[in-house]
Every structure is written in structure tokens, then in C-alpha cells.
Amino acid sequence: MTPPAYTAMMAHVKQTRALGQVAGLLSWDQEVMMPPNGAGARAEQAAVVEAISHQRRTDPQLGDWLHELEAARLNETEVANVRLTRRSFDRSIKVPMALAEELARTAAHAQGIWAQAREANRFADFAPILTKTIQLKRQEAACLASDGRSAYDVLLDDFEPGMTVAVLQPLLESMRPRLSALRQKISESGAHQPSLQGPFATENQLALARKLADAVGYDWNSGRLDLSVHPFSSGTAGDARITTRVDPDEPLGCLYSTVHELGHALYEQGISDGMDFSPVAHHVSMGVHESQSRLWENQIARSRPFCQWLYPHFIDAFGECGVSDSEALYRAVNRVETGFIRTESDEVHYNLHVLLRFELERDLISGALDVVDLEEEWNTRFLRDFGVSVPDAANGVLQDVHWSVGLFGYFPTYSLGNIYAGQLDQTLRMNIPDLDDQLSTGKTDDVLAWLRENIHRQGSLHAPDVLMQAASGAPVSTEPLLNYLETKYADMFGF
């Protein structure tokens, strides 16, 4: 028998969740649809929804229900919902309203200053507000760290529940030597890497992006594709929208960012199965979310067999444009090049970018690194890891928005996503022995069905590491990812 307190609490939580979805729509609309002069009213609208949400998340009645339910006999789903509600409630009541408001205000302010500083290419313009942001994040972490955890562990936990530096650091750092060696080998191989010749008409890019959505099993009755400055995914299971961007000179940015967002959206479309609005019907972590986007983007859509399927559609959309067969397309979409910008980087360089940010932000939060030394430290470490010197702040320390809006602890989830994706790919290949044959005909429904069952439908029933271990049959490890990368590029570049 479900206790009445559980039913009452779930009704409360359901309404709060619906409000959160409303906030998501306000934000989607702002990025995709809203005319410029709507900004003033939109800020008021978002503020009032956030104020009411905060009030509901800290409602003392929740504390009473939780107290009662933590002593009650409940089934597995109910236990998980109580655990997740407790997590959110504690998170919300421990940070004083005044601090939460100052964090939000500072983030809004700092984002503008960051954008201007990047435009002016001057880190010193951004440094003061970054220092203030870090102080506020430390204060926030102190409120939450009543159990003695370090500030960075607390911040990390917001994005990857249960993750700690003690687990994360060796995991990430173990990747650096093999990735650096691989980077070095590729760069020394001097192999020819085909590049595409345009132009690539916008409508043809979008038509092919839609074809890719069809190919991976995206449900158009539960989503839509639009344009925005930065691609993103948002929404709910029945309304998991994605966006993309189009550069008429370069189609791969559109196509592969679309597949990336499709990976996120497939996860959302698959989470809910009659458990809408409850805490378990929610993605479990940013790392797991990223594992879905990266798996579809890289291990699936950048694979040789998938490129064999893609090739005729690609030629159909753009003409030959410099790639004379599917192998050339495969090499073009897997081009490796040392660059300064994380978001443009290939599979080999990507995690080196993340590693750099992880170590710097960890030290900024602990105080081991001072903001005044950040730019120099960034540049020194970049030269060490990438073998080239950062030319300026815009190509270095000022390139990412994250720190300006207080997203400390977020970067590592990008690499965790890659690591998880490596494990899932290995497991998928064991479970679907003819996967390559399937992909070469554009067949992905076995992949999706496996992910639906082993990842999506699990929602937040288990912690991320438990979920990944259950799905992949092994503890979290970088081996599958590194093996995949080394094998792939050794084959491609012949070393």
C-alpha cells in the first residue's frame, strides 16, 4: 500500500516538475523564436517562474513528507523517488535565498562581461568578476558540504551525482599519456586528410539533418528541429526538441551537431514510460546524458559503416564536393587537427581539452590557483598537452562560457560521457555481433532498443556509476574508449 504521504508528495513534486518544464520552454523560445524586444518581459517571466519553483522546492511540507517516508516501507521506484526528492530538497534549503539570488545575478552579469572580454580579447577584463564568481561558488559549496566533502566534490555532484575528485582525477589523468601519444603519432604520420569543397546549401544541410534524425529513430511526433546560434536539446519525453546551426561553407558542423543533439533527445524520448513528472523519470547525470550524444555522434555516426550508408545521401544533397567515395567521407568526418577551440575539436583532442579545464577549475575552487595566474597557467599547460602555443585569450582561457555562469564541475562530465560511450560501444558490439553490417545499411533500431532498455528507461532509478556498471558489465574504465580511439586512428593513418 502506497502511503498517503507519498501520493501527496508526488503530486507536489509533479507540479514543480511541470513548472521546471515551463522554464525550459521559456528558455527554448528565447533562443529559437523570441523577437529581440521580447527580452525584457521574458526576463520577468523567467524570474517569476524561478521564484515560485524555488518556493516549492523549499516548501517545509516536503521535509515533513520526507521524514515520514524515509521510515516507511516502499517499493524500489518509491524509494528512488524519495531519495531524489530528498536530494533536491536538501540542495535547495541549504543554500540561503540571498546567496542563490546573488549567484544568479552575478552569473547574468558575468556572462555579459565575459562576452565583451572575449570580443576585446582581454582576460584582465573578465578576471575580477570571475574572482567574485569563484568566491560565491565556494560559499555555495560550503553551505552544501555539511558532510565534510571538498568544495569541488560538492559542485561536481550537482552534475554527476556521487562523483568525487578521488575517483575522477585518476580516471581522467590516466588518459593523457595515451591521448598525447596518439595525437603525436597522427601528427607525425603526415597522412592526407580529405576535406570537403562547398558551397553547401542551407536547405540541403537541413534536409540531410532530418534524414539523419529519421535514421537514428528520432520520433518527430515527440520533437522538432530548429535553428539556433548554439545547438542544444531541451524538453520532455513527449516533446524533446533539438536545434542545429548551418554554415554554408561547411556541412559537417550542422550534421554532426545534429546527431549529437539527437543522442540527447533520444535519451529524453526514451526516459519516460508512464512515469512522467516523477523524479526517477529524469536523466540521471550530465555524464550519462553526454554518453548518449557522443555515442551516436562518434561511435555510431563517425563509424566507417555508417559513412558507407551516409555517402550516397551526402552526394545526393551536395554533389561530390571533394569526396570521391565513402572512405573519403569517413576520413573527412574524422579529420584530426590540433586546434585551440574545444567545441571544434576531434575525438583525439577533445578529452585533452577537458582535462585542461578540469585541473584548472579544480585548483581555482580549492585556491591552489589564483585567477590572476589563470591565463598563464592555461597557456603553459596547453603548450605541454597540445604542442602549440595559444595565440590569444579568445583562443584560450576566454573561449568557453561555462565559468562565467558559474558552471564549475560541469566540464568533466564531457569526458565522463566519452568514457561511458566507449564502454557502451564495446557492450553494444558484443550484444549486436553484426552491428557494422546493420550500420552500413543505416539500420540503428537494435542499437536504440538496447539503449532504451539499458539506459533510457532506467531514468534516475540508480546512481550513474551503478547504471553504467549494470549496462556495460564492468566498472567505469577508460580502456574501451582509449582502445577504440587507438584502433580507429591506427587503421586510418596506417601506423
Residues that bind a second copy (CB under 8 A): 14-15, 18-19, 21-22, 25-26, 29, 33-42, 44-45, 47-49, 51-52, 219-224, 235-239, 241, 276-277
How would you list the strands of the sheet with 233-236, edge to edge?
225-227, 239-244, 233-236
Q: Is 70 a catalytic residue?
A: no
By C-beta, is 147 or 203 nearer to a second copy?
203
Of the residues 261, 347, 359, 361, only one is catalytic, namely 261
Question: Minimal distance in Å, beta carbon 330 to a second copy?
Answer: 33
Question: Minimal distance in Å, beta carbon 239 to a second copy?
Answer: 3
Rg (CA), the chain: 23
Q: Are strands 239-244 and 233-236 parallel, antiparallel or unpaired?
A: antiparallel
By C-beta, is 104 or 315 nearer to a second copy?
104
d(CA 334, CA 430): 24
By C-beta, is 148 or 274 nearer to a second copy?
274
Torsion angles phi and psi, residue 125, rounded to 5: -65, -30
By C-beta, is 32 or 315 nearer to a second copy?
32
By C-beta, is 18 or 430 nearer to a second copy?
18
Question: Minimal distance in Å, beta carbon 303 to a second copy?
Answer: 29
d(CA 126, CA 443): 48
Beta bridge partners of 226: 243
Question: Minimal distance in Å, beta carbon 127 to a second copy?
Answer: 34
d(CA 393, CA 376): 10
> Residues of 177-195 as b/e, b for ≥16 C-beta within 10 angstroms?
ebbbebbeebeebeeebbe
Question: Minimal distance in Å, beta carbon 95 to a second copy?
Answer: 22
H helix count then E strand count, the chain: 21, 3
| Long-range own/partner contacts, residues 329-334 (CB < 8 A, 24 or more apart) | 330/302, 330/304, 330/492, 331/193, 331/194, 331/492, 332/193, 332/194, 332/195, 332/196, 332/252, 333/252, 333/256, 333/301, 333/302, 333/307, 334/302, 334/488, 334/489, 334/492
- Type and span of the H or E element at 227: strand 225-227
Q: At 241, is the secondary structure helix, strand, or coil?
A: strand
Yes or no: say if 283 and 267 are a contact pair by the CB < 8 Å rule: yes
d(CA 443, CA 437): 9
By C-beta, is 201 or 463 nearer to a second copy?
201
Question: Minimal distance in Å, beta carbon 343 to a second copy?
Answer: 27
Q: At 325, is the secondary structure helix, strand, or coil?
A: coil
Query: Which residue's entry shows cell 539556433?
Result: 228
By C-beta, is 165 or 237 nearer to a second copy?
237
Question: Minimal distance in Å, beta carbon 220 to a second copy?
Answer: 7
d(CA 489, CA 493): 6
According to the 3-state scheme, what is the secondary structure of 456-471? HHHCCCCCHHHHHHHH
Query: Which residue's entry shows cell 560511450?
Result: 421
Supply the angle between the helices 347-366 and 374-386 in degrees, to the nearest 10. 150
- Type and span of the H or E element at 269: helix 252-271
By C-beta, is 32 or 432 nearer to a second copy?
32
By C-beta, is 42 or 429 nearer to a second copy?
42
Q: Give me the active site residues, please.
A: 261
